[in-house]
Amino acid sequence: MKAKLLLLIVLALGSIASAQTVDKQKVSEFATAVARAEGFGVKHALPTRNHNPGDIKSGCRYIHFRNDAEGWAALRVQITKLAAGESKHYTLTMTINQVSKIYAGDYRWGKIVAKSLGVPPTTKLRDYFAASDVPEVPQASDDSIADFLNIGLPFDSN
């Protein structure tokens, strides 16, 4: 049992160490923009009731997180993967408009996200998430939330 646990820790640390560095401030700003576009914080809105600022689904069902902090952590994990070029469905060469068509199926989502970020919707993800002077590695605690919850998340789901 201890050997399995040690192996899991070594594998997790290896994947974190090999991950491209990501600007946590930009991840946070992008998460806030996504939450705004999804209607999080609006009284009685589904993302607000579900503590799910990214309106994240598992299969066809929206995930109900236990609290807002858990929902924010899950959204940050997904955006960190997106920014690091580790998403299975989105590439860094995509524009916010292109992400909008896949993520929300609606161009208005991309306009809201872009406006919140202060960039045009034609901005490519690689340009928005371009490395800053002081890059930071994502925290292991954020990365472990998705594994702990054992859920598929939108920027990473199969």
Distances (CA, A) of 136 to 16, 19, 26, 34, 139: 11, 11, 11, 21, 9
Say if CB 46 and CB 65 are below 8 A apart.
no
Residue 3 has pLDDT above 80, yes or no: no
15 within a domain of the structure (yes/no): no
Distance CA 154, CA 132 (A): 26
Block residue for tokens 């594994």: 147
Domain of 29, in residue numbers: 20-149
Among 55-69, 74-88, 140-154, whose mean pLDDT is lowest?
140-154
4 within a domain of the structure (yes/no): no
2 within a domain of the structure (yes/no): no
98 within a domain of the structure (yes/no): yes
Domain count, the chain: 1
> For the chain, what's the residue count?
158
**How confident is residue 14, by pLDDT bands cut at 50, 70 and 90?**
very low
Residue 31 has pLDDT above 60, yes or no: yes
1 within a domain of the structure (yes/no): no
| Three state DSSP letters for 61-126 | EECCCCCHHHHHHHHHHHHHHHHCCCCCCCCCCCEHHHHHHHHCCCHHHHHHHHHHHCCCCCCEHH
157: left (phi over 0), alpha (psi -120 to 50) or beta: beta
Residue 19 has pLDDT above 50, yes or no: no
Please report the pLDDT score of residue 86 as a whole number: 93
Helix (H) or strand (E) holding 139: none
Q: Encode pLDDT of 72-100 as tens digits.
A: 999 999 999 999 999 988 999 999 999 99
Residue 20 has pLDDT above 80, yes or no: no
